[in-house]
Copies of this chain bind each other. A is one copy, B any other.
């Protein structure tokens, strides 16, 4: 019988349930970890709130997750990654992973240096210019386009159909008109937007060549896996096995039989959280614990 390694507990923080798209990727890439997810639904949405408030809420959330045993916290919310993470990173009690850097990495991986990329995000994320800075650090130019109607459209369940197509069309045309050079990739800089990805890919095909769309959820999960290799899917078990790798038993194999333990916290409207979760996470969630965060 294999000795059971202790499964790391990863904290995942978002303003609501959008970050469940990131948790979905984390579950895929870190099958040997357990997860504690906190949605700050009392203050949702963050997109239109101030940097000071978002930093206060994020600090309180990290404190809560760490007090419950999280060894690493993924800030799955783009707005919080953009506005709060830079000032919280240095004094954090555990490693913090944001979604902006990995999102920019995902774009940089598929376009030539010096390219322009289009970032679709909330007003708060765009105003922070966090993606522009992250892209510049990787030798890319970013055009940041706020799309305030996308989150309510996704929450209304209108992820397809002519109305959402027209709204996407307005935003995409405005964004392309604002770009000095044609963008070679589109970054979805909001956790809700992956649910609009098929529609956006169709709309962009009507306007232009097929500009590839990347979202930061998968890139964030890959980056997190490098920080907790014992809980990750070993590279050799992927679809493209590396040749010449030592044929050791993959570390993750010791966890492969166990289902990850998931626990969900929300600061308000737990019932709604539970109802929306399957759309973002791809599975039902059993319970949501209602908590109050001390600001």
Flag whether A205 is at the interface (Cβ < 8 A): no
Chain B residue contacts of A295, Cβ below 8 A: 292
Flag whether A152 is at the interface (Cβ < 8 A): yes
Flag whether A162 is at the interface (Cβ < 8 A): yes
Residues of chain A at interface, number, CB under 8 A: 27
Chain B residue contacts of A155, Cβ below 8 A: 48, 148
A162 and B149 CA atoms in complex are apart in Å by 15
Chain B residue contacts of A53, Cβ below 8 A: 42, 268-269
Copies in the complex: 2
Flag whether A173 is at the interface (Cβ < 8 A): no
Q: Which of B153, B162, B170 contacts A166 (CB 8 A)?
A: B162
Contact of A48 with B272 in the complex, beta carbons under 8 Å = yes
Contact of B269 with A49 in the complex, beta carbons under 8 Å = yes
Flag whether A202 is at the interface (Cβ < 8 A): no
Flag whether A43 is at the interface (Cβ < 8 A): yes
Most buried by B among A43, A152, A272: A152
A10 and B138 CA atoms in complex are apart in Å by 55
Contact of A163 with B170 in the complex, beta carbons under 8 Å = yes
Residue of B nearest to A272 (CB): B48
Flag whether A167 is at the interface (Cβ < 8 A): yes
A272 and B44 CA atoms in complex are apart in Å by 17
A162 and B151 CA atoms in complex are apart in Å by 20
Chain B residue contacts of A167, Cβ below 8 A: 163
Flag whether A156 is at the interface (Cβ < 8 A): yes
Contact of A48 with B149 in the complex, beta carbons under 8 Å = no
Flag whether A91 is at the interface (Cβ < 8 A): no
Q: Which of B42, B43, B163, B292 contacts A163 (CB 8 A)?
A: B163
A251 to chain B, nearest CB (A): 42
Chain B residue contacts of A292, Cβ below 8 A: 295
Residue of B nearest to A57 (CB): B42
- 5 nearest CB pairs, A to B: A152-B152, A53-B268, A50-B269, A50-B268, A148-B156
Q: Apart from A48-B155, A149-B149, A162-B166, list 14 A-B contacts with CB within 8 A.
A: A41-B49, A42-B43, A42-B49, A43-B43, A48-B269, A48-B272, A50-B269, A53-B268, A149-B152, A149-B153, A163-B166, A163-B167, A163-B170, A166-B166
Question: What would 10 A/B residue contacts be, using CB atoms closer than 8 Å?
Answer: A43-B43, A48-B155, A48-B272, A49-B269, A50-B269, A53-B268, A148-B152, A149-B153, A152-B152, A163-B163
